[in-house]
Structure 1
């Protein structure tokens, strides 16, 4: 408690008085008893008049909220008011400033504080309300704080709204009081998380980040921007950030909606086994034991089928009919000298 000189000798223009409750509590009412003198009650009420009561979490009234402000009529010297809220400090404040016109009955020489008693009533434990502080505040009340009389929340946790904070945010909204709008880039056009704003099911194509509010960098695409463009878009342009398509077309020698390299197609740009070449339209040579290179058709194994082995005559430029490919080489082309293709078996 802090006071200044009282009576006619006081020169103070503002006065204050603080009650420290020792912790944050749910408050219901405040009682203030101002000093009385026999035959001077009206004078004392005039000194008491105009006072304010604040409830705060710090010793500074500016950090709290105004619970009560007296004007007219003049207050009784045994004063009682309802003050519903949460706080650690109850602050009494009054002033008599120069140049201000005060109502009739106010004592205006200086500001006085002649308090005899300040009593604060409420629940000693947080999260409770009701006549005997036996009821629990709704679970989604911010910091478990509610109106000490009816249990309505004094603010909601993020993602909820309503007097009892029982309603989730509407589709497309999230955060404190549901005032933040979702970015609108969640996968499959789903709403974001009503509490955090994150996209629980990932991002739509072309976006990344927890909130899916960051566009893909040039050269990347897809949900979360995890794919790289093919690099074969016409004039080396970047692909569409959403789906990877080369919107202006492909460079020479490439085709496909994703501009796959030669020999590949589909979402993963891969040929099925047994095919190669542009758009995978060519069939691998029958001499290959398994499959061939997806780009050029060369057999991927060094082994060949026994029945494919043929002797090529020694005469330069001569050859015998038979299978036409060995490891991708066309045996119809003239050869310079004799080759005996040996059969290798596992």
Structure 2
């Protein structure tokens, strides 16, 4: 049996375990980080397994910079782990730890968080010191943290005056060792981590109560698959635009039958890019104004077409407007008629026989056997008895 002492600080409880060895130290030699570092006293010194020399600069402790208002240190456990408790060894300078030890003032007011991100605000608060004094703060200390998480974060601040009696003026971290005990394999619990949690459940490290469901499941007993176009941890991720609006895979979010038009990727959560649109992003955009991309679903151009193109998708060609004018980008019509030699709504038809000029508005000479559609010259000859460029003269 363990000797357990309850230290109550408001509603937070720290459990002190003088000798707990049943769980594995998940933090040993893992990647660590701190908000500031003094010289070479790096964050990883607090997870190197060494703390026989508890001097500030004895080489086995991490040391932050002086005169900071906040100080943070964290360890990445390498994945979400089932945590039982956290052991903290603060610097003592190898002196008796009591109210006369200079280092107590820096340890006072500390907090410990468990989070799935490097942001403590995304996690849960295991413990916050609101009641210790230089005479009562323990060192080392084991803090009960029966949660799942990837990052264990130590935090202290000196941002809100006035400070309680005995507190340092600045936040200063000198951690000699941080050990995080728990089960290395998800889905297990018990003192030696040999018992299996219920199916689809990440249970508490002490008993099999479901703390949270594994990704893809929900409900009190974690029997229900994610539905309602959701997936993943706590079913709090939204499915992408799966083809036909069907439910994505409840665990991975992958769409079983491909994507709706305009989307791509395994989860159909990426819009078509690179001037493509439609199903599987296989269609190319038209000549949208200023080189802008078209709408990823239907290919429409939101700001009109470049000169020489028209239509909803700017894929139709127009031109030959009089005086080089730009055609209407909706229907391709020319606002002031057509250039010489062409006619029609979009000025893309050659003059019919017997017509020439702007919008084919002029008739060829009546004695002409076929005139040039641009200038009206009778290039195929005149009817008998007539001569001249336009067959306008009688033969003598």
When normalised by structure 1's length, the TM-score is: 0.42
**Higher Rg of the two aligned structures:** 1
When normalised by structure 2's length, the TM-score is: 0.38
Whichever structure has more strand as a proportion of its residues is 2
